[in-house]
């Protein structure tokens, strides 16, 4: 007899077979590791130290050259990993629970609760996050903390929509009806019967959210309301815009863009692979009807 | 009497557009009355949209009826508090049409069958495990099924799992909503026989909902035929199938394909489509397709009344011979 | 000569669980103007066969490992996709179980019939519309002029199936493949569609392959019957052969396990067990484990034996069928 596998195990086996997805996963893991090492001070990066002349070209000593103050660009790009990952992580951590709870309540109970929650997220999603960020920057002061809050409270809407839609779909399923008929309460039905089925989709959306938070940070820092005083990729690209045109200094721009490009690409490939492996329609395509 | 349903109505309101006239409600179940005795099987037959499934769900209060009364074991089901409702759900269970979609794909078979016992705080974990093992035996599944997942089983086996879950709380009434329609022919017979055996063994009562009159006839003591939310004929199964009185039942029986080359009956093929339950025809709802309809049928609505002993028919032109 | 002749057709699917044997060494032929019913339960290979004829198998995962499908001296398996496309709709047409998913929801039904005329015949738009209307009337759609410009969701299930039939008939195919065309319909609507297919058959010399699991439907429409079990032929013969003189234990079991409306049955005879795993067939008769007659003889592959002309059964024990089953 074959070994019995749950749907999740099946999906993960399939995911494991996807080489591209596994490479992406390794890249994501490497970024997370770097971020953790810097965060816990196990990796102490001399981001403010002057190591050479202004605008040294890339060399073996400094792979990505130096910036205007003679600081090593490569070290600053690596430090940017920590900033980006922390923004991605904390934004997701704020947005996903809000999205799940509100989406589940709206989708499961429907009626007035649904109307109210839909009203809330319609309102939230109509606020441009740039505007909210500018407002928050005024109140809380510019900096990474404002970025967390602004991105967190605006980006739960997407997850909430998805979760609400899935709950509406699943609450009509026969096994949910069966649970009702058994006398199971709403909490049991939400957590035992519906949420586990929605979870894969939440993971996929959370990982996309992670990416969009990273991208949002770059844009915010570029226009000057993002991270202050620390080398984030947005700041570096912002600094590089004049150097690139005026002096042909490409390395700072190249370093920050590549670092961002790689992680965004890895996340996108990984989310797509995740979606494919969890989607029953795609994974069963080989089955005969 | 185990179950008494009186004048049950369920109207589904339809959303109307911003500028259009308010839409008419869909009259899924329109004034249905029937009874079910202990250890009896009542077949509820009809074509799609006739309201048979809705009627079943109203009895379980999975949808709230619009009007009418449902008495189960001398208790008024519609007057129960949510606590009492949870309590009474132990005694009524449901089996679904699609065996796979009625089982949570992320739970093991053991977990699925054990769940009703957990919800109602029955026994210790060890006692529950024993109960689950006994239930697997009862529905003819191997013990090895316990730690496996629904998608590893065939349709017939999934239906057995669904039946085991329904039996876990030792119910008195099971509402079987098209339980064999999605199964292969050779598996259908297995499930029907299992349901009959369980009924005898556990003295269950079934409300057996199906579109397939030959299956219903085989398992039921009495049959109620529905058309557009109304019961058009109700009576003992054999009599209804061998000597139908209502023109709809007659036509329905005449066109059931039979796996044999010796058909005695002439086919009566009904013309046209089933009307929308939002706009049922005036008078007798069947008059638009009835082969023997008269002018009177468009105007006067027939009522379901006893025309033979134990048999009620809702047709103006079936003579009373009690 | 037979219109369609399938010889030794074997189809496999590669799946995560291994190689799935969908159809093994299937032989069949259909004559002009005849209706062949392929009967069997899910997974017996009946739909796969239909798709193979139409050239609609997803390759991969599907793979045709042997055999030939010859329509009018042309081997369909050797044709390119382009040649196949020209053939589909022209020489062979197919109708499906679920007419809703086979119709495009954003186009009117009339347009879709008209389009299928356009693709294969070079005719003007006006002619196409007239022809489409005539077809709609032929398949019994009332008020065809009005319904011409309605969308699929405005049609009932039975009416949608009529639209599908009209599309299939639009180019007068030589062969119509109907894959469970009435399974999703109500009994009274099923009767209408069966009646329609019966009239169409009488009025043309089109051949039909009708795929179904419902023996009752088979009794009404078939000239010849093939009973498939687990990808192989269990029994074949005329309608009379199968219903009055069934010889294979599986056919007998199927006939016995169906409740009849006009017959008194105490207890339904059951075929015990479940279908064998299609990725793991054991050598010998595939019905072995569920068969009450099985003996060591059955561990060899059964071959089809002719009982009476045209009536063949793949069983070593068919002579025992008169004994108690």
What are the tens digits of pLDDT across the range A169-203? Answer: 998 888 898 888 888 888 889 988 899 889 888 98
C108 and C144: one domain? Answer: yes
C299 Cβ under 8 Å from any chain B Cβ: no
Token pair of A59, please?
A: 């060399």
DSSP symbols for B176-239: EESTTTTS-HHHHHHHHHHHHHHHHHHT-EEEEEES-HHHHHHH-SEEEEEETTEEEEEEEHHH
In chain C, what's the furthest Cα-to-Cα distance? 68
Domain assignment of residue C97, yes or no:
no
Q: Which of residues 258-277 of C touch B (CB under 8 A)?
A: 258-262, 264-265, 267-272, 274-275
Top pLDDT among C99 and B277 is at B277
SS3 of chain A: the string is CCCCCCHHHHHHHHHHHCHHHHHHHHHHHHHHHHHHHHHCCCCCCCCCCECCCCCCCCCCCCCCCECCCCEEHHHHHHHHHHHHHHHHHHHHHHHHHHHHHHHHHHHHHCHHHHHHHHHHHHHHHCCCHHHHHHHHHHHHCCCHHHHHHHHHHHHHHHHHHHHHHHHHHHCCCHHHHHHHHHCCCHHHHHHHHHHHHHHHHHHHHHHHHHHHHHHHHHHHHHCCCCCCCCCCHHHHHHHHHHHHHHHCCCHHHHHHHHHHHHHHHHHHHHHHHHHHHHCHHHHCCCCCC
Give the nearest partner residue to C187 out of B184, B252, B263, using CB atoms: B252
Distance CA B302, CA B232 (A): 9
CB half-sphere exposure, B144, CA atoms < 13 A: 6
Residue A78 phi, psi dihedral angles, 5° rounding: -65, -40
Task: Give the closest-approach CA distance of C299 to chain B in angstroms.
Answer: 23
The secondary structure element, H or E, covering residue B58 is helix B52-59
Task: Give the closest-approach CA distance of C44 to chain A in angstroms.
Answer: 10
Q: With bands split at pLDDT 50, 70 and 90, how would you rate the model's confidence at B44?
A: very high
Domain end residue (candidates: C171, C200, C223): C171
Top pLDDT among A56 and C198 is at C198
The mean pLDDT of A206-226, rounded to a whole number, is: 83
C40 and C87: one domain? Answer: yes
Distance CA C247, CA C320 (A): 9
C17 Cβ under 8 Å from any chain B Cβ: no
Per-residue pLDDT of C112-143, as tens digits, reads 888 877 776 777 778 888 888 888 888 888 77
Print the domain residue range for B91. Answer: 3-10+27-243
Domain assignment of residue B263, yes or no:
no
C-alpha angle with apex C151: C149 to C153, nearest 5 degrees? 150
**CATH code: domain of residue C12:** 3.40.50.300
Say if strands B222-227 and B230-236 run parallel, antiparallel, or are unpaired. antiparallel
C197 Cβ under 8 Å from any chain B Cβ: no
The mean pLDDT of B251-264, rounded to a whole number, is: 80
Alpha helices in chain C (DSSP H): 46-54, 81-87, 99-102, 109-120, 125-138, 144-147, 157-169, 187-203, 215-221, 239-245, 249-257
Is C244 in Cβ contact with B261 (below 8 Å)?
yes
Peptide bond into C61 cis (omega under 30): yes
C25 and C116: one domain? Answer: no
Domain assignment of residue B165, yes or no:
yes
Distance CA C168, CA C162 (A): 10
C109 and C71: one domain? Answer: no
* Residue the block writes with tokens 């005695």: B264
Give the mean pLDDT of chain C. 82
Strand ranges inside C16-83, DSSP E? 18-30, 35-39, 62-71, 74-75
Which residue is closest to A2 within chain C, CA to CA?
C17
Q: With bands split at pLDDT 50, 70 and 90, how would you rate the model's confidence at C222?
A: confident
Say if strands C305-308 and C311-313 run parallel, antiparallel, or are unpaired. antiparallel
Is A286 in Cβ contact with C13 (below 8 Å)?
yes
Distance CA A151, CA A95 (A): 8
Domain end residue (candidates: C129, C145, C171): C171
Print the domain residue range for C310. Answer: 4-91+173-322
Mean pLDDT is highest, among A67-71, B41-45, B276-280, for: B41-45
The mean pLDDT of C269-296, rounded to a whole number, is: 82
Q: Which chains touch B (3 or more CB pairs under 8 A)?
A: A, C
The confidence score (pLDDT) of residue A143 equals 77
Q: Are A35 and A271 in contact (CB under 8 A)?
A: no
C26 and C73: one domain? Answer: yes
Residue C297 phi, psi dihedral angles, 5° rounding: -55, -35
Domain assignment of residue A287, yes or no:
no
Contact residues on chain B for C254, CB-CB shorter than 8 A: 185-186, 259
Give the nearest partner residue to C243 out of B212, B257, B260, using CB atoms: B260
Q: Are C210 and C168 in contact (CB under 8 A)?
A: no
Print the domain residue range for A40. Answer: 15-279
Judged by DSSP in three states, B21 sits in coil
Give chain B's domain count.
1
Per-residue pLDDT of B64-80, as tens digits, reads 888 888 998 888 888 88
Q: Which of residues 12-31 of A touch C (CB under 8 A)?
A: 14
Domain assignment of residue A285, yes or no:
no
Give me the residues paired with residue B307 across strands: none
Task: Give the closest-approach CA distance of A117 to chain C in angstroms.
Answer: 32
CA distances from C114 to A20, C127, C148, C163 (A): 46, 9, 10, 11
Give me the residues paired with residue C69 across strands: C6
Contacts of C169 (CB under 8 A, 6+ apart): C93, C135, C138, C139, C176, C200
The confidence score (pLDDT) of residue B20 equals 67
Is C42 in Cβ contact with B155 (below 8 Å)?
yes
The confidence score (pLDDT) of residue C319 equals 63
Instruction: Classify residue B30 as exposed, middle or buried by CB count within 10 Å of its CB (0-12, 13-18, 19+).
Output: buried
**CATH code: domain of residue B133:** 3.40.50.300
Q: With bands split at pLDDT 50, 70 and 90, how would you rate the model's confidence at C321?
A: low
Per-residue pLDDT at A44 exceeds 80 = no
The confidence score (pLDDT) of residue A288 equals 32
Which residue is closest to B58 within chain A, CA to CA?
A181
The confidence score (pLDDT) of residue B212 equals 87
Q: What is the ipTM of this complex?
A: 0.81
Is C42 in Cβ contact with B257 (below 8 Å)?
no
Domain assignment of residue A109, yes or no:
yes
Top pLDDT among C224 and A219 is at C224
Say if strands C62-71 and B222-227 run parallel, antiparallel, or are unpaired. unpaired
**CATH code: domain of residue A157:** 1.10.3720.10
Distance CA B144, CA C112 (A): 52
Domain assignment of residue B308, yes or no:
no
Domain assignment of residue A120, yes or no:
yes
Contact residues on chain C for B193, CB-CB shorter than 8 A: 267-268, 270
Per-residue pLDDT of B156-179, as tens digits, reads 889 999 999 999 988 999 999 988
C230 Cβ under 8 Å from any chain A Cβ: no
Give me the torsion for CA of B167, B173, B177, B182, rounded to 10°. 40
Contact residues on chain A for B103, CB-CB shorter than 8 A: 175
The mean pLDDT of B293-298, rounded to a whole number, is: 86
The confidence score (pLDDT) of residue C100 equals 73
Give the mean pLDDT of chain A. 82
Domain assignment of residue B36, yes or no:
yes
Q: Which chains touch C (3 or more CB pairs under 8 A)?
A: A, B
Phi/psi-derived region of residue C20, left when phi > 0, alpha when psi is between -120 and 50, beta in every other case: beta
C101 Cβ under 8 Å from any chain A Cβ: no
Contact residues on chain B for C214, CB-CB shorter than 8 A: 185, 257
* Residue the block writes with tokens 């690409």: A265
Peptide bond into C60 cis (omega under 30): yes
Q: With bands split at pLDDT 50, 70 and 90, how would you rate the model's confidence at A1?
A: very low
Give the nearest partner residue to C271 out of B186, B192, B211, using CB atoms: B186
* Residue the block writes with tokens 């259908």: B188
C161 and C195: one domain? Answer: no
Count how many residues are written for chain B. 322
Domain end residue (candidates: C171, C190, C215): C171
The secondary structure element, H or E, covering residue B295 is helix B295-299
Domain assignment of residue B273, yes or no:
no
Is A286 in Cβ contact with C15 (below 8 Å)?
yes
Per-residue pLDDT of A70-84, as tens digits, reads 788 888 888 888 888
Contact residues on chain B for A182, CB-CB shorter than 8 A: 89, 93, 115-116, 119-120, 165, 169
DSSP C265: -
Say if strands C62-71 and C4-15 run parallel, antiparallel, or are unpaired. antiparallel
Q: Which region among A106-110, C99-103, C176-180, C184-188 has the lowest average model confidence (pLDDT)? A: C99-103
Judged by DSSP in three states, B27 sits in strand
Per-residue pLDDT of A126-147, as tens digits, reads 877 778 777 877 787 777 888 8
Is C15 in Cβ contact with A289 (below 8 Å)?
no
The confidence score (pLDDT) of residue C213 equals 87
The confidence score (pLDDT) of residue C12 equals 87
Domain assignment of residue B279, yes or no:
no
Contact residues on chain C for A285, CB-CB shorter than 8 A: 58, 61
To the question of pTM greater than 0.90 for the whole model, the response is: no
Mutual angle of helices B247-254 and C187-203, in 10-degree steps: 50
Per-residue pLDDT at A64 exceeds 90 = no
CA-atom Rg of chain C in angstroms:
21
Alpha helices in C17-72 (DSSP H): 46-54
- Percent above pLDDT 90 for chain A: 15
Distance CA A258, CA A254 (A): 6
Is C156 in Cβ contact with B269 (below 8 Å)?
no
The confidence score (pLDDT) of residue B263 equals 67
Is C194 in Cβ contact with B257 (below 8 Å)?
yes
Per-residue pLDDT at C320 exceeds 70 = no
CB half-sphere exposure, C96, CA atoms < 13 A: 10
Give chain A's domain count.
1
C195 and C299: one domain? Answer: yes
Q: Are C253 and C275 in contact (CB under 8 A)?
A: no
Token pair of A115, please?
A: 């109307």
Token pair of B83, please?
A: 């606590």
C48 Cβ under 8 Å from any chain A Cβ: yes
Give the nearest partner residue to B106 out of A174, A178, A196, using CB atoms: A196
Domain assignment of residue A137, yes or no:
yes
Per-residue pLDDT at C302 exceeds 90 = no
Q: Are B70 and B250 in contact (CB under 8 A)?
A: no
Domain assignment of residue A235, yes or no:
yes
C179 and C156: one domain? Answer: no
Which residue is closest to A196 within chain B, CA to CA?
B106
Task: Give the closest-approach CA distance of C260 to chain B in angstroms.
Answer: 6
A289 Cβ under 8 Å from any chain C Cβ: yes
C205 and C78: one domain? Answer: yes
Top pLDDT among B142 and B21 is at B142
Give the mean pLDDT of chain B. 87
Which residue is closest to A287 within chain C, CA to CA?
C15
Q: Are A38 and A79 in contact (CB under 8 A)?
A: yes
**Cβ neighbours, 10 Å, residue B299:** 12
Is A286 in Cβ contact with C16 (below 8 Å)?
yes
Q: Which of residues 159-188 of C touch B (CB under 8 A)?
A: 159, 186-188
C80 Cβ under 8 Å from any chain B Cβ: no
C271 and C136: one domain? Answer: no
The confidence score (pLDDT) of residue B152 equals 84
Give the nearest partner residue to B211 out of C186, C195, C253, using CB atoms: C186
Per-residue pLDDT at B24 exceeds 70 = yes
The mean pLDDT of C65-90, rounded to a whole number, is: 83
Give chain C's domain count.
2
Q: With bands split at pLDDT 50, 70 and 90, how would you rate the model's confidence at B270?
A: confident
Q: Are B171 and B117 in contact (CB under 8 A)?
A: no
Domain assignment of residue C96, yes or no:
no
Distance CA B162, CA B98 (A): 10
Q: Which of residues 5-34 of C touch A (CB under 8 A)?
A: 13-17, 20, 22
């Amino acid at each position: 007899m074959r070994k019995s596998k749950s749907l999740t195990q099946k999906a993960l086996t399939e995911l494991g077979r996807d080489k591209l997805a596994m490479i992406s996963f390794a890249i994501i893991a490497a970024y997370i590791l770097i971020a953790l090492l810097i965060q816990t001070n196990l990796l102490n990066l001399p981001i403010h130290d002057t190591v050479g002349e202004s605008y040294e070209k890339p060399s073996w000593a400094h792979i990505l050259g130096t910036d205007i103050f003679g600081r090593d660009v490569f070290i600053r790009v690596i430090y940017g990993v920590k900033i980006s990952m922390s923004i991605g992580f904390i934004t997701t951590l704020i947005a996903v629970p809000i999205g799940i709870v509100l989406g589940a309540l709206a989708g499961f109970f429907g009626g007035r609760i649904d109307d109210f929650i839909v009203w809330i997220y319609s309102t939230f999603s109509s606020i441009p996050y740039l505007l909210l960020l500018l407002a928050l920057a005024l109140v809380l002061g510019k900096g990474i903390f404002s970025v967390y809050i602004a991105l967190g409270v605006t980006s739960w809407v997407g997850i909430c929509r998805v979760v609400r839609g899935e709950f509406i779909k699943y609450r009509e399923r026969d096994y949910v009806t069966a649970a009702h008929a058994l006398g199971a309460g709403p909490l049991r039905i939400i957590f035992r019967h519906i949420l586990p089925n929605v979870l894969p989709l939440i993971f996929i959306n959370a990982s996309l959210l992670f990416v969009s938070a990273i991208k949002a940070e770059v844009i915010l820092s570029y226009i000057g309301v993002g991270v202050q005083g620390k080398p984030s990729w947005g700041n570096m690209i912002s600094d590089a815009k004049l150097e690139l045109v005026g002096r042909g200094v490409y390395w700072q721009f190249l370093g920050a863009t590549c670092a961002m490009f790689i992680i965004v690409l890895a996340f996108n490939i990984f989310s797509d692979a995740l979606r494919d492996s969890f989607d029953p329609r795609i994974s069963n395509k080989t089955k005969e009807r | 009497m185990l179950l008494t349903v009186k004048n049950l109505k369920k109207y589904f309101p339809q959303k109307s557009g911003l500028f259009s006239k308010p839409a008419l409600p869909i009259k899924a179940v329109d004034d249905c009355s029937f009874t079910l005795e202990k250890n009896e099987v009542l077949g509820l037959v009809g074509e799609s949209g006739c309201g048979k499934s809705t009627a079943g769900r109203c009895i379980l209060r999975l949808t709230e009826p619009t009007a009418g009364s449902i008495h189960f074991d001398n208790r008024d089901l519609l007057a129960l508090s949510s606590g009492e409702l949870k309590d009474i759900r132990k005694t009524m269970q449901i089996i679904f049409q699609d065996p796979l979609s009625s089982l949570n794909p992320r739970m093991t078979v053991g977990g699925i069958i054990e769940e009703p016992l957990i919800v109602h705080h029955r026994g210790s974990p060890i006692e529950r495990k024993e109960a689950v093992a006994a239930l697997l035996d009862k529905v003819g599944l191997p013990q090895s099924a316990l730690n496996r997942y629904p998608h590893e089983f065939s349709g017939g086996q999934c239906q057995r799992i669904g039946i085991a879950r329904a039996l876990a709380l030792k119910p008195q009434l099971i509402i079987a909503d098209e339980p064999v329609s999605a199964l292969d022919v050779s598996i259908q017979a297995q499930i029907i026989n299992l349901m009959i055996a369980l009924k005898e063994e556990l003295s269950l009562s079934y409300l057996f909902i199906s579109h397939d009159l030959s299956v219903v006839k085989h398992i039921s003591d009495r049959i109620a035929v529905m058309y557009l939310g109304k019961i058009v004929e109700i009576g003992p199964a054999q009599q209804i199938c061998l000597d139908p009185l209502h023109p709809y039942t007659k036509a329905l029986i005449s066109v059931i394909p039979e796996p044999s080359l010796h058909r005695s009956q002439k086919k009566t093929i009904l013309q046209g489509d089933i009307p929308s339950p939002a706009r049922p025809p005036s008078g007798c709802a069947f008059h638009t397709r009835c082969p023997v309809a008269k002018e009177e049928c468009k105007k006067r609505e027939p009522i379901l009344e006893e025309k033979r002993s134990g048999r009620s028919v809702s047709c103006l032109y079936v003579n009373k011979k009690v | 000569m037979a219109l369609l002749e399938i010889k030794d057709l074997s189809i496999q699917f590669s799946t995560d669980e291994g190689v799935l044997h969908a159809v093994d060494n299937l032989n069949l032929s259909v004559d002009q103007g005849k209706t062949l019913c392929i009967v069997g339960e899910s997974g017996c290979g009946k739909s796969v066969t239909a798709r193979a004829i139409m050239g609609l198998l997803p390759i991969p995962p599907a793979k045709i490992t042997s055999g030939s499908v010859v329509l009018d001296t042309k081997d369909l398996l050797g044709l390119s996709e382009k040649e196949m496309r020209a053939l589909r709709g022209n020489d062979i047409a197919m109708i499906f179980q679920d007419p809703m998913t086979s119709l495009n929801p954003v186009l009117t039904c009339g347009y879709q019939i008209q389009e299928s005329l356009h693709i294969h015949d070079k005719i003007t738009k006006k002619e196409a519309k007239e022809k489409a209307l005539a077809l709609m009337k032929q398949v019994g759609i009332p008020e065809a002029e009005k319904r011409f410009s309605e969308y699929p969701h405005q049609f009932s299930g039975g009416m949608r199936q009529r639209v599908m039939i009209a599309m299939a008939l639009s180019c007068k195919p030589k062969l119509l493949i109907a894959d469970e065309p009435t399974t999703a319909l109500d009994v009274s609507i099923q009767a209408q569609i069966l009646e329609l297919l019966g009239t169409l058959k009488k009025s043309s010399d089109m051949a039909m392959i009708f795929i179904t699991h419902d023996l009752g439907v088979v009794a009404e429409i078939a000239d010849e019957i093939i009973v498939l079990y687990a990808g192989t032929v269990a029994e074949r013969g005329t309608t009379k052969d199968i219903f009055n003189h069934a010889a294979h234990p599986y056919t007998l079991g199927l006939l016995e396990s169906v409740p009849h409306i006009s017959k008194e049955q105490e207890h339904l005879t059951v075929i015990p067990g479940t279908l064998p795993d299609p990725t793991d067939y054991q050598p010998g008769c595939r019905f072995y484990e569920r068969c009450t007659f099985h003996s060591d003889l059955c561990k060899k592959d059964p071959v089809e034996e002719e009982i009476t002309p045209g009536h063949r059964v793949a069983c070593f024990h068919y002579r025992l069928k008169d004994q108690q089953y």
